[in-house]
Amino acid sequence: VKSFQMQNPELSFVLNFAENTAIPVNIDRYATMQILENLLSNAVKYSLGGGEVSISVQLEKGCCLLSIGDQGLSMTDDQVSRIFDKFYRVDATNTAISGTGLGMTIVKHLVESLSGEVTVTSSLRVGTTVTVRLPVTPVLSKELN
């Protein structure tokens, strides 16, 4: 997050993590970094003119929820339904924000390889939130003692 903050001083980055709670999740470091990079990059790219990017991590119903939200451009329901399609671009015009249309496809593939799921919600004049849900690793009874 720090590198995105330094490169985008017009944005406010708000971190909201589960207080005093370690959430054990079995992850691949490289895959997780790529997921975070893609999601933060999108949040920054589509937050034209500033605003807030929120990053939260919480425990919910045996899962770790990572959510990254922005107050930038929003999408229609049809656009949200196609966001994971290869090469799909919300705006494919010559003046569109640059990108390959592969970022969210890669995110979905990596999240599913970690036995998780990813969802996207978007509301006009509110922004877009991407939520990654990963299963919590059972804590060994030895660690509980």
Q: What is the pLDDT of residues 101-133, one digit of tens each?
A: 788 999 999 999 999 999 999 998 789 999 999
For residues 67 and 143, give the distance between their C-alpha atoms in angstroms, rounded to a whole number.
28
Q: What is the pLDDT of residues 34-77, one digit of tens each?
A: 999 999 999 998 887 788 999 999 998 889 999 999 998 888 88
Residue 145: pLDDT over 50: no
- Give Rg (Cα) of the chain: 16
pTM score, two decimals?
A: 0.84
Strands 51-60 and 63-70: antiparallel
pLDDT at 137: 86
Tell me what the pLDDT averaged over the chain comes to.
85
